[in-house]
Structure 1
Amino acid sequence: MDVKTPLQSENLPAPVSHAVDCAGHKKKSKKHRIFKTIVLSTLIWVGVRHFGRARSAFNLADPVSWPIPDNVSVDHCAEWSTSVASDVVDDFPYAADASFELPVSAETLFLISRSARHRAFAAGHVNYVQSEDVSDTVKVDITARFWLDEYLDASKVCLLKRGEDESGVGIFTKWDRGRHSKEHEKLRFEVTVTFPQTSEDSPLAIKKLSTDLEIFTQIFGDVSNINFNSLFVKGSLGGVYAETLSTENAKIRTSLGAIKIQSLIAEDADVSTSMGPIEGTYNSSNVLVLHTSNGAINVDVNLFNEGEDPAKLRMHTSNGFIQGKINLESSKGPDASFDLAARTSNSRIALDVLASPLDATLALRATTSIGSVSVKLPTTYEGSFDATTSLAGLSVTFDEKAEDPAGEGRKRSIEFEGVRRNRAKGRVGWSEEGLARGTVSVRSSMAPVSLEF
């Protein structure tokens, strides 16, 4: 028979109350769960923050994500100078610099900017100047102003090549913080493009200057001693300002900004903006187009006719007035011809043709819907006229005492073909031949119309 040996008390752990053991276990389990939750939440938060920073760093280092256009190749990207405290712009406490040189002889000199995602992150202005130094290079100096180094790290400035003989500089930025951008989360660029002097007593010849910049104001200083064979200036959110620009062909475009040029001299010029005025003096020997959507056009125009076709002026806006003082010139004598057109929808038109060659052919149209139209013509104008309005007054003024511009003592005549309250048609001239020479049409729907000879 087996004998069972009783367990000795000294071999056992001290007895504890079962009830107390269960309560203690519950308290410890609850505290443990809370602790685990806090630790897990902290780890997740730290991980997300770390991942966000790591992702940002990855994006900044990833060359594929830089918004460099496919049609350019990168020669090299400059290293920013060591950032230093800025004593120029108080809004941005730090600044860094980079510089490039471009050959004057290039077929095209170009300057571009591109931003990935957050376009408002980077903006600035570009100054175009000419130095007193003789050189065969154009210098491009760039200063970036910023608050934190990570903002500077989100930018690149590079020397670019395009086509066979096109040399330029690109400003590239990428910043992806979505809606959580901070007040000082931005870069501001100051760019100076310095053209050299020539060793001869003649203007510097630049074959083509092309710019395509996003949120940059472009300012042409005293570059009157530079002749651009072709000039293409483009901006998105920034105006274009210039003292004197001389070029064969000009195309100047911006979306949200004014275009103000003290003197533009071009054979052909196409100037347009969407949300800004066009102002200044414009000289053209072929075709001049001035177009804006929500701004005024207030210009002086000198139009020269030397070619076979008429010299043309086109002015168009939708929600702004058009005011122009126009000189028409030509050495072609009776073969000179001009074609002028001004159109707006919700504002007035005031055109004053100050001078026109003797025996020249002039076609002029001025049309608006809700504004008044006032057209003044010189005594050299000869041809038909048609002035119309729907819901307002009409005025045709004729200077009977005007002297013969040919100095032959002729008397100018005016013939009305039909006069009603809202419309006046007729012809004016110094001879029978002159009565059939030009055409003037002036129209408004809901405002007064005046025509003065």
Structure 2
Amino acid sequence: MHLASTSLLAMMNPVDYSPAEPGKGALLLDPQPATHTTSRLRTFRRRILSGTALCFLLGLVFWCHPLTVGRPNELAQGSVGIAVDPRLEAYQNPENAKYCADWSPAVEARDNVSVTFELPTEADLLFFLSRGPVSGGIDLVRSTSSSTGPVEVNVTATYHDIGDLRRTKVCRMGAADEHGLLIWAEPRHPHGHPTQNVQFTIIVALPIGVQSYKDLTTDLARFAHTTMDFFDWWSPVSFEVIRLRTSDAAIHSGLMGRALFIQTSNADVQGNFAGYELGVQTSNAPIQVAAIMFGENVGSESRVQLKTSNGAIDVDMVLLSGYANNTLRAVVQTSAAPITINRRLANKDPIEPAINSSFFLDASTSLGAASVQLYPEYEGTYDLQTSSAPAEVWEGTKTEDPLGKGRHRTVNKTLDGEHAQGSMFWSRDGEPPEGVRRGAVKIITSKSPIVLFW
């Protein structure tokens, strides 16, 4: 799925009876599209690309120079509604629309109808929301016909009865620099049949020549979310803040942004996510992601939060930075299912961490095994707690000082069957240096084993 666009004014195509090519009938654009001269994300993208030679040698990006602006604090505020965007409150009702699709040409003999919209690429916020008994899917893709804009949006409605269609609206919403669509339907009669719902397919085509966007938000209950893999080291598409929110539908994405908040329920989340802050929340379903986190500057902190229930969590997690003394802080929580945390990406060899980086992990489940892989360079404490099963620490064979200072690896263990704790650090004399306080790993489960290894 993709969102983007360059025209400040967007006009919708007339209704057609089959899926239409995006953009027909829209206002002409200026021959010179608006430039993002102050775009911090463009700077971010350039810095990513400047490191691709090193990325090629490593098989992955190892070094990334990020931006220096503040980040949202959704994760600090708690996990409830991590992808909620309060700016959408102004766009809940079609009465406030710029205009809505005209379904009047639709006929009984047809079962689908399409309409297209255009949205400006330079918008502060691109958004898609639904209200009422509608469902479907949204797909973000790269446009093959537009190099610089606008963002082309094609909406196809599939219906069983023309009356159902006419109880829905697809409306162009927005104000100031916020632009998006509202898909709206009248409430269904309490005794109405679920098949009376209209299914909508939204295809959002981002122009291939634009690689930096500001915020993207969806609030689409019962809409599956898919995207192309925009996390492409050679030609990345990046956002400031991404919020994808649905329910009872899966989210499968590959996205890069300063902050990413992904939320659904009763469905799985999969994808590759890159940025400074990542939050993923679902329930009764698994999470399987790669979290590629960047260091923003010397001493900066990046955050990952993954939460579900009754579903396994499998995450490849890495901190990449050209800066020293960065921190990666992660919370991983589920229940009645296993947790697996690796430091490998795409089945490649383990990735080296940022220099002198710190790692703090709080991982918990119940009735599920936990397996956590640390960097050999890790310094800090660990605390493994389970019941009716072993808690084990497996030492790796790598003993070289990562800083090349001739230090030795010291691992302290206290093992008591269901409980293992201790510390590990690098020093010359075996005494705990400052580094022993550099990190902390806590893993809790019940009636299942825990393995910590490096």
Pairwise TM-score range, normalised by the shorter structure? 0.5 to 0.7
Q: Which has the larger radius of gyration?
A: 1
Asked if the contact 1:81–1:98 (Cα under 8 Å) also holds between the matched residues in 2, the reply is no
Gaps of 5+ in 2: 1-90, 344-349
Residue of structure 1 in register with 2:217 after alignment: 210
Matches of 2:367 and 2:196, distance apart in 1: 45
The residue number in structure 1 matching 2:364 is 367
**Which of 97, 115, 118 is residue 114 of structure 2 equivalent to?**
97
Instruction: Provide, for residues 83-136 of structure 1, a one-character-per-residue CA deviation record: whole Å limited to 9, x for no partner.
Output: 3688xxxxxx53333333334444433333322xxx2xx433333332423565
Aligned to 2:422: 426
Q: Which residue of 1 aligns with 2:401?
A: 404
What's the counterpart of residue 441 of structure 1?
Answer: 442
Q: Which amino acid aligns with 1:125?
A: G
Name the aligned partner's letter for residue 315 of structure 2. G
Query: Does structure 1 residue 451 correspond to structure 2 residue 447?
Result: no
Deviations 1:193-241 (A, max 9, x none): 334455xxxx25444333332333333347679xxxxxxxxxxxxxxxx
Aligned equivalents of 1:278, 1:159: Cα separation in 2: 29
Question: 2:274 matched to which residue of 1?
Answer: 283
CA contact (8 A) 1:78 1:99 kept: no
How do residues 228-239 of structure 1 correspond to structure 2 at under 5 angstroms? Answer: none
Q: Which moved more, 1:134-143 or 1:123-132?
A: 134-143
- For 2:187 and 2:305, locate their aligned partners in 1 and report how far apart those are by CA, in whole Å: 41
Can you give the 5+ residue segments of structure 1 that lack an aligned partner in the other structure?
A: 1-67, 87-92, 226-242
Structure 1 302/276 Cα, relative in aligned 2: closer, same or farther at 3 Å? same
- 1:63-100 deviation per Cα after TM superposition (whole angstroms, max 9, x unaligned): xxxxx8359623333323633688xxxxxx53333333
Aligned to 1:114: 131
Greater fraction of residues in helix: 1
Q: Percent identity?
A: 29
1:132 is paired with a residue of what secondary structure?
Answer: coil
Q: How far does the alpha carbon of each residue in 1:290-331 deviate from its partner, in whole angstroms, 9 at most, with x for none? A: 222211122222222224442122222221122222222222
Q: Which amino acid aligns with 1:398?
A: E
Shift of 1:167: 3.4
**Structure 1 residues 79 and 245 mapped into 2: Cα distance closer, same or farther (>3 Å)?**
same
Cα distance, 1:213–1:387 mapped onto 2, change above 3 Å: closer
Q: Which residue of 2 aligns with 1:82?
A: 105
Task: Give the C-alpha shift of residue 408 in structure 1.
Answer: 4.1
Is 1:140 paired with 2:132?
A: no
Q: CA deviation at 1:441?
A: 1.9
Using a 3 Å threshold, how does the CA distance of structure 1 residues 174 and 351 change in structure 2: closer, same or farther?
Answer: same
Q: Provide, for residues 159-203 of structure 1, a one-character-per-residue CA deviation record: whole Å limited to 9, x for no partner.
A: 33x43343333333226544253x8534233333334455xxxx2
Q: Cα distance 1:79–1:338, how it changes in 2: closer, same or farther (>3 A)? A: closer
Query: Which structure ranks higher in relative contact order (CA pairs < 8 Å, sequence separation ≥ 6)?
Result: 2
Higher strand content, 1 or 2: 1
Q: Which of residues 175, 178, 199 is equivalent to 1:166?
A: 178
Indicate the RMSD between aligned Cα atoms, in angstroms: 3.2
1:249 corresponds to which residue?
241
Aligned pair 1:194/2:205, yes or no?
A: yes
- In the TM superposition, 1:192-341 aligns within 5 A as 192-198=203-209, 203-221=210-228, 246-261=238-253, 263-285=254-276, 287-307=277-297, 308-333=299-324, 335-341=325-331
Q: Is the 8 A contact 1:85 1:95 kept in 2?
A: no
**CA 1:351–1:191: 2 relative to 1, 3 Å:** closer
Q: Tell me how many residue pairs correspond in the alignment.
A: 350
What residue number does 2:44 align with? none
Tell me the residue number matched to 1:56: none
State the alpha-carbon separation in 2 of the partners of residues 175 and 361 from structure 1.
51
Give the CA deviation at 1:381. Answer: 0.9
Matched ranges for 1:51-90 at <5 A: 69-70=92-93, 73-80=96-103, 82-83=105-106
Q: Distance in 1 between matches of 2:123 and 2:398?
A: 59
1:98 & 1:159 partners in 2: Cα distance?
11
In structure 1, the residue matched to 2:383 is 386
Amino acid at match of 1:247: F
SS at match of 1:151: helix
Paired residues of 2:380 and 2:425 also in contact (CA < 8 A) = yes
Q: 1:397 to 1:223 in 2, by over 3 A?
A: closer
What CA distance in whole angstroms lies between the structure 1 residues aligned with 2:122 and 2:328? 37
TM-score, length-scaled by structure 1: 0.68
Distance 2:148 2:452 in 1: 55
